[in-house]
Chains A and B, each alone.
Chain A
Amino acid sequence: MSVAARAVTLLVAFVAVAVGAAFVVIHYIVGTGASTLTTVDYTSAAHNGQVNVVLQEDPQNTVTSKPDWVSYFVMKPGANPADASSWVHTTLFKVPANTRVNVTIYGFDGCTPLRNNYWSQVQGTQGGTVNVQQFLKGRALTAARNVSVINSWAVCSVAHTFAIPSLGVFVPVLSPTIQVFDKYACGTSPCVPSEGAYSIEKFSFMSPKTPGQIRWQCFIPCGGGFIDGNGGPMQTLGYMTGFMQVAA
């Protein structure tokens, strides 16, 4: 084979390998949704040193290619939770630094016992408690009350957790009552309060004084179809884990 032919062959082989590698990388990034996730920016909605962040967790999501994966959604700042278009399928949100973050979580998913019941305890919130209440189609089934422990082993009462480990924030998220969840579970995401059974949980914590990117996660292995529930949505941004960006 001539030198020119060998050079061309080598060049073609190199380009083929490079393109293949690029395809794998891009496919992985796009496939996991990392490059398509939106960050919901709450910084402009902050007022008097406080900001309101609203999330929901659903038993499924019907807006992605993984409809059977449980998922969090984030509401646009100041939007109406009753409107499905208010919710963004993402787990990235941005808050200002050194601000009281008032979190509201709409819990549409059913209960699953905690793997470690220690996470039943509310930690890192203002007052060390969360305010919880259960609903069915907008109608309150229980009175709102502050609790410091939601014991998922005594009764099946925790759907997921919201935890920012580096800030010491660990919050079990109350599930709807089992009886009503079985009959009225939300089936289309993002869920809206008029559709089914849900809980509302409220708590506050302080964002750090310095800017940065802080991960948050669920501590209930809720990846259906994976060994011990540890894969899939548990390990993928946009589902049961994400980042809280802290802006200066």
Chain B
Amino acid sequence: MAAPDSAPAPAAPERSEPRHWLRLVAIWFVLALVGDLLIWFALYPHLPPGRMTDMAAGQQFDIAVLSITAWPVMSFVLLYFVYALVVWRRRPGDDEDGPPIHGNTRGGVAIQVGWILGTAAIVLWVFAFGTYELIVPAGAGGGEGPNPIWRLSGAITTSWTPGSNDMLQVQVIGQQWWWTYRYPQFGGMESTQLYLPNDTPIEFHVTSLDVIHSFWAYQLGVKADANPNVDNVAYTRPRQLGSFVVRCNELCGIWHGAMFNYGKVVTQAQFLSWANGVRAKEQADGLLAALPPYALTYDPTVIPQLGKTLTVLAGITGANGYYYSGAQAGTPGPPVSP
């Protein structure tokens, strides 16, 4: 059918295209600013792991700063997504292709340069901030291996004095499926309870007697692998009194999930009283003498008091009383006299 013979309709006046980038940047700026203020003032004080120690407070600060860094990026991506859906969506009857995008135009180059500079700046900032935050608080609560690069300031002494800057050394020993703690500055006494004095530099020496465990004192901001025959050092400095949870964070067998207990940060005087009390009881009971000499790691096949290496039968160390290797293999121990 022929087209009706009529005069062509007058062209519709061309609508001026709104300045999308200006709109986007304006909305994004408000979103980013409001979000970051909310993160800093509302969320930051409640972020894990709290502020029980310097390490924990440092981790809380790091999470807040990284969130503030991430939110503007995330909000821009989301904003652009929503803006595109609303403004550039396909209208009914609109079957046209979108306009081509040319990367070599003036605007395209600006976008590319801006993108490269922006992402580079963010990555460099995160790298610099992360490195600084790892070094300055002496490893940020993570296990640093047997020879820590970043040490916490504190005097290494053979005894510990309240009110001083003496480093309290605490050995953490993992065994399927419980933690014990040794205090070398208190005669090497050992306990299932983890007590720490407030406002004191703490040096954890984390090890294991069997499989791989992981010492995770969540509120202290400390996490360090407990490996057999390895001394893994981690630092912290308590700033608040109260209880904290210790968990194993490495799948270690049937009771891995039950391998947790509670520790306490107490005043320095309370700690001294507790530590001396445990030491005295263990001395009176004869347990202190029965423990192996304090060492950074332990070999369960050696009984230091006897200077003997144990034989292993069918995977069991010194099974059925057959204690010694070498010439004495197969020789049972002496009669029982507990």
Listed in ascending order, the chain A residues whose CB lies under 8 Å from chain B are: 59, 110-113, 115-118, 120-121, 123, 132, 134, 142, 147-151, 153-157, 163, 165-166, 168, 170, 174-179, 181-182, 215, 217, 219, 221-230, 234-236, 241
How many contacts A-B (CB < 8 Å)?
150
How many chain B residues touch A (Cβ–Cβ < 8 Å)?
46
B163 within 8 A of A: no
Looking at A115, A120, A175, the one whose CB has the most chain B CB atoms below 10 A away is A115
Contact A228-B315, Cβ < 8 Å, known A115-B175, A154-B290, A165-B258? yes
A-B contacts, 18 of them at CB < 8 A, read: A110-B321, A111-B320, A112-B321, A113-B303, A116-B175, A118-B291, A149-B338, A151-B286, A154-B290, A155-B333, A155-B335, A157-B338, A163-B178, A168-B192, A178-B333, A221-B176, A223-B316, A241-B255
Tell me how far the C-beta of A65 lies from the nearest C-beta in chain B, rounded to whole angstroms. 18
Contact between A224 and B258, CB atoms less than 8 A apart:
no
Per-position binary interface string of chain B over residues 170-201, scored 1 when its CB falls under 8 Å from any chain A CB and 0 otherwise: 00010111101000000000101000000000
CB-contact partner of B254 in A116, A132, A150, A241, under 8 A: A241
Taking CB atoms, residues of chain B closer than 8 Å to A168 are: 192
Contact between B316 and A120, CB atoms less than 8 A apart:
no
Contact between A116 and B335, CB atoms less than 8 A apart:
no
Contact between A111 and B338, CB atoms less than 8 A apart:
no
Taking CB atoms, residues of chain A closer than 8 Å to B255 are: 215, 217, 241
**Given the complex of chains A and B, what is the CA–CA distance between A36 and B170 in angstroms?**
44
**Given the complex of chains A and B, what is the CA–CA distance between A144 and B306 in angstroms?**
28
Contact between A112 and B335, CB atoms less than 8 A apart:
no
Contact between A219 and B336, CB atoms less than 8 A apart:
no
Contact between B336 and A116, CB atoms less than 8 A apart:
no
Contact between A230 and B253, CB atoms less than 8 A apart:
yes
B58 within 8 A of A: no
Contact between A226 and B287, CB atoms less than 8 A apart:
no
Contact between A181 and B338, CB atoms less than 8 A apart:
no
Tell me how far the C-beta of A218 lies from the nearest C-beta in chain B, rounded to whole angstroms. 10
Taking CB atoms, residues of chain A closer than 8 Å to B292 are: 117
B211 within 8 A of A: yes
Contact between B316 and A156, CB atoms less than 8 A apart:
no
B137 within 8 A of A: no
Taking CB atoms, residues of chain A closer than 8 Å to B300 are: 115-116, 228
**Given the complex of chains A and B, what is the CA–CA distance between A201 and B114 in angstroms?**
77
Taking CB atoms, residues of chain B closer than 8 Å to A134 are: 336
Contact between A227 and B315, CB atoms less than 8 A apart:
yes
**Given the complex of chains A and B, what is the CA–CA distance between A225 and B312 in angstroms?**
10
Taking CB atoms, residues of chain B closer than 8 Å to A165 are: 177-178, 192, 258, 261
**Given the complex of chains A and B, what is the CA–CA distance between A151 and B313 in angstroms?**
21
Contact between B285 and A113, CB atoms less than 8 A apart:
no
Per-position binary interface string of chain B over residues 293-312, scored 1 when its CB falls under 8 Å from any chain A CB and 0 otherwise: 00000101001011000100
